[in-house]
């Protein structure tokens, strides 16, 4: 029983990490069709933001709370620059965005190595996140609980933005039919910029969050980028609710498979499952129905 | 077992093919110095007529391994400077030629070929990962050149062209198990990264455990660089093992120890013995995550020997007070001095004379007196179990009574008979 709860939580926790990493991507890849390989490096930038903030604000608790908005800004601004310099010329060439952003990812990794050094750096977790709470005898790590809550908060904020604000309506309109949206007076340029800013900013927040789990190194992003794309593709491109369901089901499934087999076999099985699933349902869990001709 | 044999047979073949290509390239370049003799394999173009002799350093100064290997490069540099300052080797100053292995085994093989054939170095020092060593091995054998390899590894290898100055398994893993058994450990959980060293190490541990009445209650591998340890740590916690044997590599250690600590496990209720966390890695893993945990090496910065005090002081003077020294760095430092001693005993820089002179050569290393075993080209080392202290340094808590003879094929252990096959 104790173990079952521990494992359930491990699954949800893994799911929440996947969701955080994939949320921004589902916006930029899903809604805008940009294959942003540098999304992982925006996470890395968020993680180093947490490191830099912690160096200047020595209290780990305050620095974590400050890092989250600052990480959002750093990731968002990097996204904005990438969008302005490269991507806006490539909205009709998704495969080229893959190459360009992959190049940008390599450049960012090298910049991180040159600025912060190749060895990984340590971002301390605040005292109030150390240890665990017992749930029916099973220890629930506080850092993992924090990430779970943070990812749900980000999800709620994004859902509100898309559903409840005029910006969200503009984003959805541009996704559904770019030409029609433009002829209705929506500035697609500005909408693209803002969407990319928010999507990249979410990567920054994810980066701050994962400093609580692992090490902060120039390669941090490469650990998450493939999983993030898997979540977005399995969930159905352009579907936030699909990404949510995909992230949590992948998390729970992977933990269960890892537990009943071994970590390496579990990872293989989950990839096999995704391949089979996409064979049966190439559009993912949800698919976007649009009248757009494109 | 059959699969791995055929794999092993494939690797030298592939590498041999590569060497052929390299040799072809070499002769095409046709440097004036080698124009007279053929640049074919086996002939040395070493020139000792001047006042200096060339040696090659090959370390990854870029790529993922740069973190670790640049520290080895630093300590090799220190050793070369010290040797030059005290008159060089056989009256000749060392001229170091450094190549970047770039964390890629093929690059190591190619650059090693260059150091041997084009630069005509007397000996080459470096390498870290087993895959880089395995890629370089056929290059050194085909050219009959010398490589000094300074890192602990999985054993089961002996080449007359490689001197292994890091620990083999009976100088690191087996002593660590002896220590655990001595502490009354009845059950262990094995956690490792998924590549050759942890898998081989754990095979040895399984055999040891079976022969010594220890139970292995779990064996888990994660991909290199993995940061997701919730499930593994749950398994470890549930196993109620007496101790954990950790062969994780690099950054995975951070995620593992953080998760480990956050579910309430620590050095008191379930100690972890790590074989790839040295002084250099502690800050990256986070001191508060690993304080009090155990490590298995042959050298720690805190060792109280005159040779070590001199080594640490010289290193800090050259590279800064904040730097630390670790086992692979010490083994690299030692390797250059051992080569010096071999050359002086042989009275020559020639490879066959050095090989003939190697057996019994000694050096008062920072870790203590080491002696070269000419039969398998490894050296004697003193295994030590350490405990990570509050400064991030490692204190020796147990030490083998005397230096242990290298036994890379574990032939002196009855229970390990089937492993070397």
pLDDT beyond 80 at B25: no
pLDDT at residue A175, as a whole number = 80
The residues on A that touch B, with CB distances below 8 Å, are 3, 6-7, 9-10, 13-14, 17, 118-122, 124-125, 130-132, 139, 141-144, 210, 212-215, 217, 219, 222-223, 255, 258-259, 262-264, 266-267
pLDDT at residue B29, as a whole number = 35
- Which residue from B225, B231, B284 is facing A258, i.e. has the nearest CB? B231
pLDDT at residue A121, as a whole number = 83
pLDDT beyond 90 at B126: yes
Q: Angle, nearest 10°, between helix axes A142-164 and A2-25?
A: 40
Q: CB distance A217–B223 less than 8 Å?
A: no
pLDDT at residue A285, as a whole number = 83
Mean pLDDT of A141-148: 93
Mean pLDDT of A193-203: 93
Question: pLDDT tens for residues B138-188?
Answer: 999 999 999 999 999 999 899 999 999 999 999 999 999 999 999 999 999
Mean pLDDT of A205-213: 94
Tokens of B128: 């870290």
pLDDT beyond 60 at A68: yes
Which is nearest to B191 in space by CA: B223, B151, B149, B168?
Answer: B223
Asked if residues A241 and A162 have their Cβ atoms less than 8 Å apart, the reply is no
Question: pLDDT tens for residues B74-93?
Answer: 999 999 999 999 999 999 99
Range(s) within chain B of domains with CATH label 3.40.50.2300: 2-43+50-167+325-379, 170-302+383-416
Question: pLDDT tens for residues B279-332?
Answer: 988 887 888 889 999 999 999 999 999 999 999 999 999 999 999 999 999 999
CB hemisphere CA count around B298 (13 angstroms):
36
pLDDT beyond 70 at B35: no
Which is nearest to A190 in space by CA: A210, A173, A214, A208?
Answer: A173
Residue B44: pLDDT band with limits 50, 70, 90: low
Most confident of A289-293, B138-142, B414-418: B138-142
Percent of chain B having pLDDT more than 70?
A: 89
Most confident of A87-101, A265-279, B7-21, B357-371: B357-371
Interface test with B, best of A40, A141, A207, A216 (most B CBs within 10 A): A141
CATH number 3.40.630.30 given to B170-302+383-416: no
User: d(Cα B377, Cα B158) in Å, to the nearest integer?
Assistant: 7
pLDDT at residue A58, as a whole number = 80
ipTM of the modeled complex: 0.85
pLDDT beyond 60 at B3: no
pLDDT beyond 60 at A217: yes
**CATH of region B2-43+50-167+325-379, choose from 3.40.30.10, 3.40.50.450, 3.30.420.10, 3.40.50.2300:** 3.40.50.2300
User: How is the beta sheet containing B243-247 ordered, strand by strand?
Assistant: B215-222, B187-193, B243-247, B272-274, B294-297, B384-388, B394-399
Mean pLDDT of A70-87: 94
Question: pLDDT tens for residues B189-215?
Answer: 999 988 888 999 999 999 999 999 999
pLDDT beyond 70 at B132: yes
Q: What is the DSSP letter of B162?
A: E
CB hemisphere CA count around B241 (13 angstroms):
27
DSSP assignment of B332-347 = HHHHHHHHHHHHHHHT
Chain B environment of A264 (Cβ under 8 Å): 194, 221-223
Mean pLDDT of A19-42: 88
pLDDT at residue B251, as a whole number = 77
Q: CB distance A215–B238 less than 8 Å?
A: no
Kindly provide the b/e burial profile for residues B372-394, where b requires at least 16 CB atoms within 10 angstroms of the residue's own CB. Answer: bbbebbbbbbbbbbbbbeeebbb
């Amino acid at each position: 029983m104790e173990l079952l709860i521990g494992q359930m939580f491990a699954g949800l926790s893994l799911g929440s990490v996947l969701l955080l990493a994939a949320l921004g991507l589902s916006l930029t890849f899903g809604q805008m069709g940009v294959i942003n390989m540098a999304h992982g490096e925006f996470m890395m930038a968020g993680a180093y933001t947490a490191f830099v903030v912690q160096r200047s604000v020595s209290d780990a608790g305050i620095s974590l709370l400050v890092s989250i908005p600052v990480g959002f800004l750093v990731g968002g601004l990097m996204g904005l620059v990438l969008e302005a310099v490269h991507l806006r010329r490539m909205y009709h060439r998704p495969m080229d965005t893959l190459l360009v952003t992959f190049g940008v990812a390599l450049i960012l990794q090298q910049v991180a190595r040159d600025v912060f050094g190749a060895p990984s750096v340590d971002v301390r977790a605040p005292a109030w996140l150390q240890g665990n709470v017992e749930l029916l005898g099973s220890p629930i790590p506080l850092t993992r609980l924090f990430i779970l809550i943070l990812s749900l908060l980000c999800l709620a904020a994004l859902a509100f933005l898309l559903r409840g604000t005029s910006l969200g309506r503009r984003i959805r309109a541009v996704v559904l039919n770019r030409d029609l949206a433009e002829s209705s007076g929506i500035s697609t340029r500005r909408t693209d910029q803002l969407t990319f800013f928010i999507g990249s900013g979410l990567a920054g927040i994810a980066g701050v969050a994962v400093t609580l789990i692992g090490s902060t190194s120039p390669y941090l992003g490469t650990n998450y980028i493939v999983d993030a794309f898997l979540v977005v593709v399995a969930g159905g491109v352009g579907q936030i609710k699909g990404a949510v369901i995909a992230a949590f089901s992948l998390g729970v499934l992977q933990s269960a498979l890892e537990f009943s087999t071994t970590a390496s076999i579990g990872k293989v099985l989950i990839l096999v499952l995704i391949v089979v699933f996409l064979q049966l349902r190439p559009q993912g869990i949800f698919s976007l129905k649009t009248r757009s001709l494109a | 077992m059959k699969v791995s044999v055929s794999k092993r047979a494939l690797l030298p073949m592939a590498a041999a093919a590569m060497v052929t290509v390299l040799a072809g390239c070499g002769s095409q370049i046709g440097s004036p110095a080698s124009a007279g003799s053929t640049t074919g394999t086996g002939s040395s173009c070493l020139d000792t007529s001047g006042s200096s002799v060339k040696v090659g350093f090959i370390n990854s100064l870029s790529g993922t391994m740069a973190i670790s290997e640049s520290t080895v490069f630093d300590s090799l540099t220190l050793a070369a400077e010290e040797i030059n300052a005290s008159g060089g080797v056989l009256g000749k100053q060392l001229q170091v030629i450094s190549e970047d292995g770039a964390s890629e085994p093929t690059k190591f093989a190619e650059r090693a070929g260059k150091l041997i054939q084009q630069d005509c170095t007397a000996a080459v020092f470096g390498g870290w990962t087993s895959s880089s060593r395995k890629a370089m091995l056929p290059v050194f054998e085909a050219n009959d050149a010398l490589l000094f390899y300074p890192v602990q590894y999985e054993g089961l290898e002996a080449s007359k062209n490689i001197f292994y100055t890091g620990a083999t398994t009976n100088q690191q893993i087996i002593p660590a198990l002896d220590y655990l058994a001595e502490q009354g450990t009845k059950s262990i959980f094995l956690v490792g990264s998924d590549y050759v060293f942890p898998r081989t190490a754990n095979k040895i541990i399984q055999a040891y455990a079976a022969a010594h009445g220890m139970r292995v209650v779990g064996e888990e591998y994660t991909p290199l660089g993995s940061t997701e340890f919730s499930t593994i740590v749950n398994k470890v916690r549930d196993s109620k093992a007496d101790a954990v044997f950790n062969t994780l590599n690099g950054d995975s250690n951070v995620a593992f120890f953080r998760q480990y600590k956050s579910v309430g496990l620590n050095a008191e209720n379930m100690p972890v013995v790590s074989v790839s966390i040295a002084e250099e890695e502690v800050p990256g893993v986070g001191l508060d995550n690993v304080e009090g945990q155990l490590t298995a090496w042959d050298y720690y910065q805190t060792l109280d020997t005159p040779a070590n005090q001199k080594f640490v002081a010289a290193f800090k003077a050259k590279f800064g007070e904040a730097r630390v020294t670790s086992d692979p760095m010490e083994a690299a430092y030692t390797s250059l001095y051992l080569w010096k001693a071999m050359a002086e005993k042989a009275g020559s820089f020639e490879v066959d004379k050095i090989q003939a002179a190697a057996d019994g050569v000694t050096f008062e290393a920072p870790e203590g007196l080491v002696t070269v075993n000419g039969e398998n080209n490894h050296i004697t080392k003193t295994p030590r179990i350490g405990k990570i202290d509050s400064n991030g340094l490692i204190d020796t808590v147990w030490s083998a009574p005397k230096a242990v003879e290298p036994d890379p094929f574990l032939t002196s252990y009855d229970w390990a008979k089937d492993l070397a096959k």
